[in-house]
Structure 1
Amino acid sequence: MISVLGAGVAGLCAATALAERGLPVEIVEAVTPPVSRLAGGMLAPFCEGESAPEVIVTRGRSAIEWWRVRAQSFVQRGTLVVAAPRDAGELDRFARATRGHARIDPGDLEPELSGRFAVGLHFAEEAHLDPCEALAALRGGLASRGVAFRDRPSGRIVDCRGMAARDRLRDLRAVRGEMLELLAPDVTLTRTIRLLHPRFPCYIVPRGHGRFMVGATMVESARDGAVTARALMELLSAAWTVHPGFGEAEVLATGAGLRPAFPDNIPALRHEDGRIHLNGMYRHGFLMAPVLACDLANKLSEDMTHAH
């Protein structure tokens, strides 16, 4: 039996990949809800290439197809990157740092942005999903395969506990992220919008039925707790810059959580202290968890084949 510790995106992807290979697996859930429920749910490997190493771009692309067949909320309409006229230099910088995009008139893709931004970058291959629905879909798929959810491990451990694994991964650090969810029935946007800004870039992800997720701050801090007033003001200001209809939106929820990150900010599989760790998701959880989960399944399948 393989015991997967943690039921966030890393743990559920790991358990799914193992179960789909026919390996015996169980999930040991944490008491606290997973921080991945607060994620943007963007499958945006090319945009991440602005600051992430090439491995995130090249390997992350496979996550798009992985989620397409597993999450009903999956939408592939690309990512639209825009900047206010005064920040046009940011758009040029972003274009130079990334690939997989075309320069377009934002109004051609999103009519409600017509006249608000002169030019944008469209990353047509990228997609997005609703994290809560996607996590629930993975749980449902595991339950249908007879995978048990328990409160203690009984087999070989695959540790996907995120920040809780600091007791074993000493170089794991916390990166605080803050987000909010808005209900804006007067706003019609169909794809992820990234607004570039020198100080607080943000993204807006449509969740359907007039709901939008706005995020996310990236703060090198282990301070947990509620969303700060500063983050709330910056995110709301950015949303209003994209579409004035957000000024009349209802704030449905706010959230803050601590993302686990290794020193190089690259998610990884590690073998330490007699267990396998799948951790360090940083801001790439939904993008890289399926990739590492498949690596894990390949390795454990090979191990069990050799054992027999």
Structure 2
Amino acid sequence: MRVLVKGAGVAGLTAAFELVIRGAVVTVAETRHSLGGNASWFAGGMLAPWCERESAEQPVLELGRDAADWWDAATPGQVTRAGTLVVAAPRDAGELDRFASRTSGHRRVDEEEIARLEPDLAGRFRRGLLFLGEAHLDPRQTMAALHKKLTAMGVDFHFSADAQDVSGFDRQIDCTGMAAVDDRLRGVRGEMLILRTPDISLSRPVRLLHPRFPLYIVPRTGHRFMVGATMIESQSSDPVTVRSMIELLSAACALHPAFGEAAIIETGASVRPAFPDNLPRVDAHESTIAINGLYRHGFLLSPAMARRAAELVFDHDKPAEPADEAYGKRRSA
């Protein structure tokens, strides 16, 4: 089975992996000149299905709960399993209760335990939620590790390639995101910052709840922190706006004032493809299978979507069922 994967973002890389471990001969074509620069490159890398369930449909939890295990197996050493800490200022305690009521997989922690979990947050927050089963990774390091592994497994990568000629392939997997021809898609713009400061140390992603501008901060190596992210209904890929920069920095300083002295080493904006219900789909039409609509859940949901696409490639007798129909059945059950 010879399969062409179009796109080397997180969807394309995970699809290539699921295909090659099933015995396919895989070629990946990417229009960019190298790995990175797409929406996956600016992701937070949080494998947080229970936290995401607070604002997402139940399938996000069901499909994402095994993501950390998948990434651990595919890219050993890239996943950090330290959970997620959710906090709120005392005046926003109602936001914490609301968050807790809309999801599961957490336990409440008090001021003393918050100080044990994150010493640099000692005395700053009285209550929080700990989602111990969650994890995180560095998207850029992880994508590079997966790319290296796929190359060693015999996957052929072609960068700066439009892949218009699909002759010689039995099937193709379209993982081109916003570049795909699909009028159901809309763009959701996300903006992020990367800060560097040796004055703060965090062991896990921390989400700060705020009625106007909730924030997450994900620790990286080298005293770096990814701060994100906005969600704007827009297909603009322009640089980060002044308003977003102010809001992100203000929220970061609300988590800890020392972020006010941090160096801003990178800003970024990307457009994430989303369907109207914000759930991904695996669609099949003749010899083409499309994975799209990962929205803000790229690293969380791409393993499940890649498995489904690979199953469709190798199971010719199985009808091609769009992922949203499967979701509907699961919800009604």
Q: Distance in 1 between matches of 2:271 and 2:4?
A: 24
Asked whether 1:69 is paired with 2:73, we answer: yes
Give 2:331's aligned residue: none
Work out which of the residue numbers 48, 56, 60 in structure 2 matches 1:56. 60
Q: Distance in 1 between matches of 2:134 and 2:239?
A: 30
Deviates more, 1:277-286 or 1:146-155: 146-155
Q: Distance in 1 between matches of 2:200 and 2:116?
A: 16
Asked whether 1:2 is paired with 2:6, we answer: no
Shift of 1:302: 2.4
Work out which of the residue numbers 26, 41, 45 in structure 2 matches 1:41. 45
| Number of residue pairs matched by the alignment | 303
3-state SS in 2 of match to 1:121:
strand
Q: Which amino acid aligns with 2:310?
A: A
Give 2:321's aligned residue: none
Q: Is the Cα–Cα contact under 8 Å of residues 188 and 235 in structure 2 kept in the other structure? A: yes
Q: Structure 2: where are the runs of 5+ without partners?
A: 319-333
Shift of 1:301: 2.4
Q: Distance in 2 between matches of 1:148 and 1:217?
A: 35
CA deviation string 1:260-290 (max 9, x = no partner): 0011100110124752110001011000001
Identity of aligned pairs, percent?
A: 53
Give 1:206's aligned residue: 219
Asked whether 1:95 is paired with 2:100, we answer: yes
Asked whether 1:159 is paired with 2:154, we answer: no
Deviates more, 1:180-189 or 1:295-304: 295-304
Give 1:28's aligned residue: 29
Question: Which runs of structure 1 show a deviation greater than 3 angstroms over 4 or more consecutive aligned residues?
Answer: none
Asked whether 1:124 is paired with 2:124, we answer: no
Work out which of the residue numbers 235, 243, 252 in structure 2 matches 1:230. 243
Asked whether 1:83 is paired with 2:98, we answer: no
From the superposition, tell whether residues 273 and 222 of structure 1 become closer, same or farther in structure 2 (CA, over 3 Å). Answer: farther
Shift of 1:44: 0.2
Q: Which amino acid aligns with 2:294?
A: M
3-state SS in 2 of match to 1:177:
strand
Give 1:175's aligned residue: 188
Deviates more, 1:183-192 or 1:272-281: 272-281
Q: CA RMSD in A?
A: 1.5
3-state SS in 2 of match to 1:303:
coil
Q: Which amino acid aligns with 1:59?
A: L
Q: Distance in 2 between matches of 1:293 and 1:281?
A: 11
Work out which of the residue numbers 217, 221, 235 in structure 1 matches 2:234. 221
